[in-house]
Chains A and B, each alone.
Chain A
Amino acid sequence: MLKKRIIPKFLIQNGRLVKAQQFHNNFREAGNPVSTARVYNDYGVDEIIFLDIEASPSGRQTVVEVIKKASEAIFMPFTVGGGIRSIADINELLRAGADKVAINTAALDNPVFIEQAAYKYGSQCLTIAIDYREVEKGKFRVFSNGGYRITDWDPLEWSRRMEAAGCGEIILCSIDRDGMMSGYDLDMLEKASAMLRIPVIASSGAGSLEDCCRAFESGAAAIAISSMFLFTDHSPIKVRSYLASQHISVRASRNSRN
C-alpha cells in the first residue's frame, strides 16, 4: 500500500537553515542544512524539501552546493525550490541531485513554462508551490515572489490550471498559518484533494501530532513540517508512530526496516 509521506521542509538563506512566521516575521536561525538533513535521514523521513528563500543567483549557487553535498550522503528523494525561472535552472538542480523542483512565481508569470518543463522532464518532477492568503473573509488569493505580490488567482482555480499544464504535485502553503503551529488549513486541503487527481502536500501550520493526522484525514498525500520539527520535541519518529496508532499507512520506523 502506498505510504503517507512525512517531509521536513528546510528554508535556506545565506547557506543556513532559517524559519520565520507568516513568511516575513520573526526569523530564526535553525542550523546547517546538510547536517540537519543527515539527522532527518537517520530519522527515516520520506523526502526532504529545500527552499531557497533568497531566490537570487547567489542563493541558487548556495542551494546547488547544499543539494550536491546532501545527495552524496543521503539516499532519499529531494524537492528543491526557490527562484526557478528557466529550463536551464531546472536542469542545473536536477543534475545537482534534486529529484523534483518546486515552482511558484515562474508558473504565475508564464503558465506555459510548466507545460514546456513537463514535456521535457515529465510531470513526476514538477511540483507547484501555491502560497496563498485569506484576503477577505472567505476570499483567498495566490501570492508570488515569496509572498510579496498578490495575484488574481484563487488557489483552487490555480491548482486546477497547473494540473492541466502537467505538474505532478501541489504543495498548498497558507501564508497566514506559516510558522504559527496552529494547524493546517484543513478546509482548503480537503477541497483541493477532492478536486485534483494529482497528490496534494499539506504545508504550513503543523504544531501537534493531531494536526498531522487531520491533514491526512483531509486527503493529503504528504505533510510538510518545518517549525514543529525545528522548535518542538516532536520528532519524525514520534509523528510516524502516532500516525500508525491512528491507522494511517506510514512506513515502518527505520530500525525495524533493517
Chain B
Amino acid sequence: MIAIIDYGMGNVRSVFNAMEYLDYDSIISSDYSDIEHCSHIILPGVGAFAEAMKNIRKRSLDKILEQEVLYKGKPFLGICLGMQLLASSSEEFGVHDGLGWFKGQVLKLKAEEDGLKMPHIGWNDIKICKEHPIFKGLNQDTATFYFVHSFHLNCKDENEQLAYCEYGEKFTAAIFRDNIVATQFHPEKSQDNGLLLLNNFVCWRRADA
C-alpha cells in the first residue's frame, strides 16, 4: 500500500490515479494509522511553501514523516512542492523553515534575469547525474518531464543531486539520500516517462536503497 499524503495542497488525485493505472493500491490520507501501515510514501503538492508547512505542522505530519521515513526508512518520493518542503528553508514570500531533511534553500529561479518566461512551465530535459533505481529503463536522450514552478531547491551537497535541469541556470531537478528521493518535475503529469518513474519507485525496496 502506498500512502499519498494529503495536506490540503491539491494535486493528490492525479498521483492516486496514476497508482490505480499502474495497478497499485494507494490511499490518500494524513492519518498516522493509515500511513504507518504503508510500505511507501509520496508527498505531492502544488502551491505556496508557507501555507504548506503550516498545514503539515497542523496535522503533525512533520513528526509522522520523520518517524516513518527517517527512522523506519520507508521509500519516500517528494514531488514539486513536496521536494521543496524537504529543504532547510524557503525564500518564497518571506523566509520560512522547511522540514530540513536536505541542506539547502528554496530560491527563485534566475531565469527572469535572462529574459526567459516565468513561471517555468512545460516539458524540459533532465540530465541524470547518478544511477538510481527510480530512473531504471529511462532513456537519457529522451528524459523529458513536465515542470511548473518558479522556485527550486538549491541543493548544497553535490552528492545528493540526482538530476539537474537547465532554464537560464542549472537547477536541481531531483535529489536523493538513502530511502528518500524527490523531483521538482511532475512524474504524474509526464506521460510515459512519468509512469515509468512512478512504477520504479513502487518497485524500489529498502534493500536497494
Contacts and interface: CB of A to CB of B under 8 A. Distances in A.
Contacts of A44: 191
A187 interface: no
Contact of B17 (A72, A222, A251): A72
A173 interface: no
Contacts of B190: 75-76
Nearest to A3: B123
A97 B189 CA distance: 11
B178 interface: no
Interface stretch (B71-79, B98-106, B146-154, B200-208): B146-154
Contacts of A197: 112, 117-118
A124 B117 CA distance: 12
B193 A258 contact: yes
A1 B189 contact: no
Interface residues of A, number: 40
A198 B46 contact: no
Interface in A115-160: 119-125
B200 to A, nearest CB: 13
A13 interface: no
Contacts of B150: 123-124
Contacts of B125: 1
A29 to B, nearest CB: 28
Contacts of B123: 2-3, 5, 46, 251
A41 interface: yes
Given A75-B21, A258-B139, A198 B117 contact: yes
B119 A97 contact: no
A198 B112 CA distance: 10
